[in-house]
Structure 1
Amino acid sequence: MILKYIVGVLAVVSSPDKQLKVAISVVDDRPYYSVSYKDKVMLENSPLGFESNEGDFTTGVRMLGDSASTIDKDYTQEKIKRSQVHYSANRLSCSFENAQKRRFDIVFQVSNNDIAFRYELPVWGQRMACVVGKEATGFRFPAGTTTFLSPMMNPMTGFARTAPSYESLYGADLPMDTANFKDGGFVFPGLFRVGSSGWVLLSETGVSSLYCASHLGDCRNGRTYTVDYPDSRQNNGFGGTGAAIALPGVTPWRTITVGETLKPIVETTIPFDVVEPLYAASKVFTYGRATWSWIVWQDASMNYEDQVKYIDLAAAMGYEYILMDAFWDTNIGKSRMAELVKYAGSKKVGVFLWYNSNGPENDAPQGREIRCIRLSSGRRK
């Protein structure tokens, strides 16, 4: 069992079925965690902690204590894999302090095939804000693990300098020693095959405007993939690379889905299990199926006649919508678009319009004209 081989274990939290276990330890004044599933090692001792302008929370750390509780809830979500979800997990909140006696908590929630964890930061004296510049958070895999990863695209490259656009391919079943060196790291989610022991999916959820999104680092430290923040070259070089956080505050959840087969990976609802809706929608939005000319005929299909064909196709197939992609505003024009939408309505087909919201961070031309029209119209008013 994994716990026999880890020095400094201070706390353990298991899934309700006792098969998935997380062990929390402090070794040489640094916090770690490890993961086992059915007594097989899925993640070896993996680093925790972060660096901020209010102190280093990766070293000089000691554990103060822990508090256990359970979570049991049912919720309804019509747009994911299951409409009725029952989430049952064991929760462990571990309190630590760094060398400056500043406390921070790491919370783990463990359900039968999923782990979610995050940092929770209190107010430190008069300090009610800080900047987290870097995390030590990592995922150390056993030797022989193979990877299914999509590399981060180099900033400000590709079509109209739109990269990273999360459109790079996944490399399939690559050894870590060939897949781990990629400047810029890899996108979430990342899938790993741990030999014959099973599978691990890494991802992130609960990202909001209160904290930056992250991605996987390039694993230059042995077999450990780290959590990395935005590259300073992104957004045309404008903006920060860390996270400014109001105190008390929390980071997004990092999630780990584990299974002997891919079934728990495919079926997981953990991105929704650990978050709550930020607000109630003002109305009930219906969803459905759509035709989309771009996937077959691409940019050349953005004309009135071809969109009529795809409206007719949607009607014939009983689909609820059509998606009209880039260049509808210039190739078809606003006046003819009104005609087209009216025609779709006569066929009982709803219309979704693609819109470019890139702003000043790249050179993509689509949609810029219509945005300028809206801005000038607003000024006239």
Structure 2
Amino acid sequence: MKKNIRWLVIGVALLSTSTITAQQATLTSPNQHINVQVTSSGSNTASYLKVWYTAGGKTTEAIPRIDLGLLLNNQDYAKDLRFVKSGKPTVIQEQYTALHGKKLNRSNTANEVVIAFDNAAQNRLNLVIRAYNDGVAFRYELPEKQGSFTVNDELTAYTIAPETTRWMEKWNTANEGLYTAMSNDKVQQQEWCYPALFNTGDSACWFLLHESDVNRSYCGSKLSNLAEKASYKLTFPNPKDGRGKGESAPTISLPWKSPWRVIIMGSLADVVASTLVEDVAPASTLKNTAWVKPGLVSWNYWSDNHGTKDYNTVCRFADLAAAMHWPYTLLDWEWDAMGNGGKLEDALTYIQSKGIKPLMWYNSGGDHTWVNATPKDRMLTHENRVAEFTKLKQLGVAGVKIDFFESEKQDMIRYYLDILDDAAQFEMMVYFHGCIVPRGWSRTYPHLVTYEAVRGAEWYNNGPEFTTTAPEHNTILPFTRNVIGPMDYTPVTFTNSQFPHITSYGHELALSVLFESGMQHLADRPEGYYQLPDAPKNFLQQVPNTWDETRLLDGYPGKDVTLARRKGNTWYIAGINAELREKRKSLPLTFLPGNTRYQVTLIADGKHDKDFSTTYSVADSTGTFNVKLLRRGGFAAVLTPMQ
């Protein structure tokens, strides 16, 4: 692999009596498809990166400029940086296993170099760059042994060519917006959520911008092109976020490392399959993870916003979980006001008598949220968490859903991670709602099984808008939000909530495979599942929600998407259509092992939106997968190896 590392430092020129020194260095990915170049002029101009992508003999300048730099309260690490040295290029090579997600066996493999700079005050800044087969990651290091500072600004900014098409979500603290596709004169100037998807003007290269390993020493960031239309600058949280609680600018203590700035890059299939955000995150330190058990969950809130307040409703959803062979049911808000036949303890006893494990909702509490729903503040302090987790452990509760964070300031990042540390001590699984998008934490804290941070099926309760926007939105999420980590969309609803859906039953069934979440909450009311024909009902009784492998077979954001996911030796294929016309797909099955035949059960759209068509066939790697999708339609299939 070392033969694939190219490292060049070039250029010393003399003009008249002045000395102008320019340093350029290029680091290449192991497969030689991605090149990242750093340039430092040594003058009053900031250092910057460029990224190229090569495939099929064609090279594309994917990102023409990434500005670099930090501004501390008493130090400038941007202008007048002096190149000092480059370290010896090294190979990062690590294998690890994920407990949940899109892929079981992971490879953290890259070429890395550390470049040292001094600022005008002769203080050191290191830039760590990694080139992966599926992208680039870079971070800042301040290696001095002591000192505490405020980071007033981070100057990292991605210059994007105007003809590059981009799919971006306007910034909101809950990360629950819709994506807008833009290019050229349609590009809007806003603050934007992570992740952001881009396709170069020649269509040859796709890349996704994000960050990873955000920890207690920093805040979460977002992207902003308000100052310059073509430049997306990393931007700290708005001081008003979280009701104005906490500082927007993070404080750091040396030695210090920034989060990784992550660029997932390649074909669209490379982007969808990438685990780069988790690959660069720290490994888990949990010695025993046998208690981390992802699974499917019945959930009453979507069909009845006050469902957990009613003991009988809670029991009906426990019965649903048992009938569908799902291991969990969630008691959402108002469990502390439960009545109509029983209280919380009665419900927990009933749930566990059915062989189902309960999960419970909490308000994150504190002055950072306007929401006063109870129980509030039981997660807010270490002492409160220890008391509550002790009680939950005694009651047989397997995990907690914690809601309404409303900020990505440094104090809130610390709060998230404090919750995860305490939960691990009590072997309590966790998922966050009204929250940050994944930053690689599911690797470091594998008991963090999912996050919301998505406009999901709950929005059918919030107004009529989602009825018409959901079909397109659903085809964008597998290329954007769900690439970077688990996503609690709460999918697969056949009946209607407060506002109807116009996606077909086949479309809804497909979401159980298309959307990945360590806790997959299937949101419909019991009769929505009981009334299904045998084939889709059986499918939902056995569909996995953790995967050994994921492949994009076909698709384009906003139009359609087809994924194949493997669990053991069994493959699941699912696809959806966003457009107002029927489509026929004929997809080669070359990804299947060459020596195996499969029994194929295909559950596709029938004659109309609420009808299924189920067919059975035999296939192998030499065949094709043929299916028809209605407008806003979809399908799901299981391919079981034949003996």
Structure 2: distance between partners of 1:225 and 1:176? 15
Looking at CA atoms only, which structure, 1 or 2, has the larger radius of gyration?
2
Structure 2 residue matching 1:100: 3-state secondary structure: coil
Report if the CA contact (8 A) 1:329-1:370 is conserved.
no
For 1:93-132, list aligned pairs within 5 A.
93-123=114-144, 127-132=146-151
2:293 is aligned to 286
How far 1:360 sits from its partner (Å)?
0.8
Does residue 10 of structure 1 match 2:16? no
How far 1:86 sits from its partner (Å)?
1.8
1:228 is aligned to 235
Does residue 20 of structure 1 match 2:45? no
Does residue 361 of structure 1 match 2:368? yes
1:332-372 superposed Cα distances (whole Å, 9 cap, x missing partner)? 49971111111111111111111111311122021246849
Report if the CA contact (8 A) 1:14-1:110 is conserved.
yes
Structure 1: distance between partners of 2:376 and 2:339? 13
Structure 1: distance between partners of 2:359 and 2:307? 18
Letter in 2 for 1:269: T
Letter in 1 for 2:329: I
1:256-297 superposed Cα distances (whole Å, 9 cap, x missing partner)? 01113x211111111221122353156522221111122333
Letter in 2 for 1:217: S
For 1:1-381, list aligned pairs within 5 A.
8=22, 10-27=24-41, 28-38=44-54, 39-67=59-87, 68-123=89-144, 127-153=146-172, 164-171=173-180, 173-175=181-183, 177-182=185-190, 185-195=191-201, 196-260=203-267, 262-277=268-283, 279-280=285-286, 284=290, 285-300=292-307, 302-332=309-339, 336-368=343-375, 371=378
Structure 1 pair 291/26, CA: closer, same or farther in 2 (3 Å)? same
Structure 1 pair 367/93, CA: closer, same or farther in 2 (3 Å)? same
Structure 1 residue matching 2:295: 3-state secondary structure: coil
Structure 2 residue matching 1:279: 3-state secondary structure: coil
Structure 1 pair 349/117, CA: closer, same or farther in 2 (3 Å)? same
Letter in 2 for 1:52: L
Structure 1 pair 330/199, CA: closer, same or farther in 2 (3 Å)? same
Structure 1: distance between partners of 2:299 and 2:125? 49
Structure 1 pair 349/370, CA: closer, same or farther in 2 (3 Å)? farther
Report if the CA contact (8 A) 1:151-1:170 is conserved.
yes
Report if the CA contact (8 A) 1:131-1:245 is conserved.
yes
How far 1:118 sits from its partner (Å)?
0.6
Structure 1 pair 84/332, CA: closer, same or farther in 2 (3 Å)? farther
Structure 2 residue matching 1:314: 3-state secondary structure: helix
How far 1:242 sits from its partner (Å)?
1.2
Structure 1 pair 279/177, CA: closer, same or farther in 2 (3 Å)? farther
Structure 1 pair 97/286, CA: closer, same or farther in 2 (3 Å)? same
Structure 1 pair 307/100, CA: closer, same or farther in 2 (3 Å)? same
Please tell me the root mean square deviation across aligned C-alpha atoms, in Å: 2.4
Structure 1: distance between partners of 2:228 and 2:208? 20
Structure 1: distance between partners of 2:105 and 2:341? 42
Structure 1: distance between partners of 2:261 and 2:195? 10
Structure 2 residue matching 1:359: 3-state secondary structure: coil
Structure 2 residue matching 1:197: 3-state secondary structure: coil
How far 1:250 sits from its partner (Å)?
0.4
Report if the CA contact (8 A) 2:308-2:335 is conserved.
no
Structure 1: distance between partners of 2:334 and 2:266? 44
Structure 2: distance between partners of 1:283 and 1:136? 39
Letter in 2 for 1:145: T
Letter in 2 for 1:147: R
Letter in 2 for 1:33: L
Structure 2 residue matching 1:17: 3-state secondary structure: coil
1:86-114 superposed Cα distances (whole Å, 9 cap, x missing partner)? 22100011111112211100101111012
Structure 2: distance between partners of 1:43 and 1:76? 32
Decide which moves more: 236-245 or 7-16: 7-16
Structure 2: distance between partners of 1:250 and 1:334? 55
Identity of aligned residues (%): 27
Report if the CA contact (8 A) 2:47-2:78 is conserved.
yes
How far 1:330 sits from its partner (Å)?
2.0
TM-score, L = length of structure 1: 0.87
Report if the CA contact (8 A) 1:29-1:62 is conserved.
no
2:471 is aligned to none
Letter in 2 for 1:169: L
Structure 2 residue matching 1:355: 3-state secondary structure: strand
Structure 2: distance between partners of 1:302 and 1:277? 40
Structure 2: distance between partners of 1:333 and 1:256? 52
Structure 1 pair 227/332, CA: closer, same or farther in 2 (3 Å)? farther
Structure 1 pair 333/361, CA: closer, same or farther in 2 (3 Å)? farther
Mind listing any 5+ residue stretches in structure 1 that lack a counterpart? 154-163
1:290-311 superposed Cα distances (whole Å, 9 cap, x missing partner)? 1112233333564222221111
Decide which moves more: 232-241 or 11-20: 232-241
TM-score, L = length of structure 2: 0.52
Structure 2: distance between partners of 1:136 and 1:301? 47
Structure 1 pair 338/18, CA: closer, same or farther in 2 (3 Å)? same
